């Protein structure tokens, strides 16, 4: 009987772990900068943000996109960052900011080439807490 109680407790705890904070988002505007030229894209695209400390998991259509390291997760704001060092003074920094009060999300990608930084992309969207 004791083993059954432990199994039930494990199932209950596992259920709570699966109910991590999540947000459903829809893309509103997307800008990709190619050689200094703005290539704007509008509408379309839904994605899911799941907060799984120590990371923020971003998926689109059930496919993994990126994990951000959590920098801040408060009642009002979620902020994450992912840095990738490509060597030779090159790298990329991706940042995600979610305004939990107004349901707005912003994401940016910045590439580093030597001593200069260049904006690669900017994305904005609307979000609501997933239940």
99 is a domain residue: yes
13 occurs within a structural domain: no
* DSSP per-residue codes, the chain: -HHHHHHHHHHHHHHHHHT--EEEEEEEEEEEEETTEEEEEES--EEEEEEETTEEEEEETTEEEEEEEEEEE-SSEEEEEEEEEEETTEEEEEEEEEETTTTEEEEEEEEEETTEEEEEEEEEEEEEE--
The reply to whether 16 falls in a domain is no
Which of 20-34, 35-49, 106-120 is predicted least confidently? 35-49
Instruction: Give me the CATH number covering residue 106.
Output: 2.40.160
Report if residue 4 sits inside a domain: no
> Residue 103's domain spans which residues?
21-129
Please tell me the pTM assigned to this model: 0.77
Assess whether pLDDT exceeds 50 at residue 113: yes
For the chain, the domain total comes to 1
Q: Look at residue 120 and tell me if it is in a domain.
A: yes
Residue 38 is assigned to a structural domain of this protein: yes
């Amino acid at each position: 009987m004791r083993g059954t109680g432990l199994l039930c407790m494990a199932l209950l705890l596992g259920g709570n772990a699966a109910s991590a904070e999540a947000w459903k988002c829809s893309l509103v505007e997307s800008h990709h900068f190619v050689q200094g030229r703005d290539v704007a894209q509008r509408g379309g695209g839904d994605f899911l943000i799941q907060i799984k400390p120590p990371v923020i998991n971003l998926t689109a259509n059930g496919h993994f996109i990126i994990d951000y390291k959590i920098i801040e997760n408060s009642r009002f704001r979620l902020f994450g960052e992912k840095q990738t060092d490509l060597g030779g003074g090159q790298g990329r920094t991706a940042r995600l900011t979610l305004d939990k009060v107004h349901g707005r999300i912003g994401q940016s990608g910045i590439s580093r080439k030597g001593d200069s930084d260049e904006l690669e992309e900017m994305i904005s969207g609307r979000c609501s807490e997933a239940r």
